[in-house]
């Protein structure tokens, strides 16, 4: 089994479901509320584990009740948490999420995630070196993401980078990345992006840059710009779809599939996630993804 590592955040999601996204200064009535497990790091780790990947998470939690719940859930989902550190006098990262049938908005508070320092990353280098592919995002300090990228280059480990949430990113991280996964907002912050020709940047990062555009599907460059359409369905909750895509992409790539095959697999898994509510609870299993392909 391929060995997949995720260096990233562990959060508790406070999710409000609404019919209409509130505008600035507006109060709207919610239809329901849930407390669920989330965080981009934990989400990707769970997505990979549900798709039968050997998923190991590197991160930090606090000593509060949300942290205890997050750890129990990761264990239940068969994620290896031996490199998740509990930080005294800290709280679990939180995400306040507002969800409509078509979209979502998220406010993240770092909590213990901010304590995943570059020093901690370098102290775990020997554990990271045992992995086949590693991913990180930006719900941890940017310097820590940079440290991950440097270890991957030094140890010749495939490195997948998702610059989310959007921040100014050192070009070094992009150069170290074997795969860069962005949505249509994140790609606008990359050097070389041209709003008049938004897909041209794909050629600059040929075979490395993957652009997800929701219901429009996925774009990447392989000798030419290629487009993988989104699967046809009616979404219920898009929260966690991007993280599902990341986890699924890592599983497929680490199993030796081509980039195009892996994107098709990840695109399908992300689409199936939107049929269920909850960032992690809605993520599909490998059986569900394979069942979808058999029905085509």
**What distance in Å separates the CA atoms of residue 141 and residue 115, rounded to the nearest whole number?**
8
* pLDDT at residue number 35: 92
Residue that wins the pLDDT comparison between 108 and 76: 76
The edge-to-edge listing of strands for the beta sheet with 104-109 is 30-38, 11-18, 93-99, 104-109
> In the 8-state DSSP scheme, what is residue 266?
H
- CB count within 10 Å of CB 27 equals 5
Is it the case that residue 1 has pLDDT exceeding 80?
no
* pLDDT at residue number 27: 96
Is it the case that residue 12 has pLDDT exceeding 80?
yes
* pLDDT at residue number 111: 97
* pLDDT at residue number 220: 98
State the average pLDDT over residues 125-145: 97
Is it the case that residue 97 has pLDDT exceeding 90?
no
**What distance in Å separates the CA atoms of residue 260 and residue 257, rounded to the nearest whole number?**
8
* pLDDT at residue number 37: 93
* pLDDT at residue number 278: 84
Residue among 13, 80, 237, 243 flagged as catalytic: 243
* pLDDT at residue number 113: 98
Residues 241-251 have pLDDT tens digits of 999 999 999 99
State the average pLDDT over residues 17-46: 95
Query: Is residue 127 within a helix (H) or strand (E), and if so which, with residue range?
Result: helix 125-128
Length of the chain: 296
Give 24-85 as a DSSP string.
TT----EEEEEEEEE-HHHHHHHHHHHTT-EEEEEEEE-SSHHHHHHHHHHHHTT-EEEEEE
* pLDDT at residue number 103: 84
Q: Is the pTM of this model over 0.85?
A: yes
3-state helix, strand, coil in the chain (%, to 5): 35, 25, 40
Is it the case that residue 296 has pLDDT exceeding 90?
no
* pLDDT at residue number 77: 97
Residues 112-132 have pLDDT tens digits of 999 999 999 999 999 999 999
State the average pLDDT over residues 203-223: 96
Residue that wins the pLDDT comparison between 36 and 10: 10
Largest alpha-carbon pair distance within the chain?
A: 52
Is it the case that residue 3 has pLDDT exceeding 90?
yes
pLDDT class of 287 with cuts at 50, 70, 90: very high
* pLDDT at residue number 107: 85
* pLDDT at residue number 20: 94
Is it the case that residue 149 has pLDDT exceeding 80?
yes
Using only C-alpha atoms, what is the Rg of the chain? 18
What is the percent of the chain where pLDDT is above 90?
A: 89
pLDDT class of 288 with cuts at 50, 70, 90: very high
Of 13-17, 159-163, 261-265, where does mean pLDDT reach its minimum?
13-17
Is 232 an annotated catalytic residue?
Answer: no
């Amino acid at each position: 089994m391929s060995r997949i590592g995720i260096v990233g955040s562990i959060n508790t999601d406070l999710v409000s479901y609404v019919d209409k996204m509130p505008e600035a200064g507006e109060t709207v009535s919610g239809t329901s509320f849930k407390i669920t497990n989330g965080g981009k790091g934990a989400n990707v780790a769970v997505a990979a584990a549900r798709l039968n990947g050997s998923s190991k998470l590197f991160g930090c939690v606090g000593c509060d009740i949300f942290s205890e719940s997050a750890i129990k859930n990761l264990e239940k989902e068969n994620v290896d948490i031996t490199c998740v550190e509990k930080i005294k006098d800290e709280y679990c990262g939180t995400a306040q999420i507002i969800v409509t049938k078509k979209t979502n908005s998220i406010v993240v508070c770092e909590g213990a995630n901010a304590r995943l320092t570059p020093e901690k990353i370098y102290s775990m280098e020997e554990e990271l070196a045992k992995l086949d592919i590693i991913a990180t995002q930006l719900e941890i300090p940017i310097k820590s993401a940079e440290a991950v990228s440097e270890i991957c280059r030094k140890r010749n480990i495939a490195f997948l980078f998702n610059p989310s949430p959007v921040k100014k990113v050192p070009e070094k991280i992009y150069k170290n990345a074997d795969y860069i996964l962005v949505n249509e907002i994140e790609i606008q912050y990359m050097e070389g992006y041209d709003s008049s020709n938004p897909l041209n940047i794909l050629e600059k990062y040929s075979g490395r840059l993957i652009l997800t555009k929701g219901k429009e599907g996925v774009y990447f460059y392989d000798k030419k710009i290629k487009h993988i359409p989104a699967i046809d369905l009616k979404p219920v909750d898009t929260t966690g779809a991007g993280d599902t895509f990341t986890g699924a992409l890592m599983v497929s790539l680490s199993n030796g599939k081509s980039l195009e095959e892996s994107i098709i697999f990840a695109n399908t898994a992300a689409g199936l996630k939107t049929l269920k509510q909850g960032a992690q609870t809605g993520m599909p299993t490998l059986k569900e993804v394979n069942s979808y392909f058999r029905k085509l």
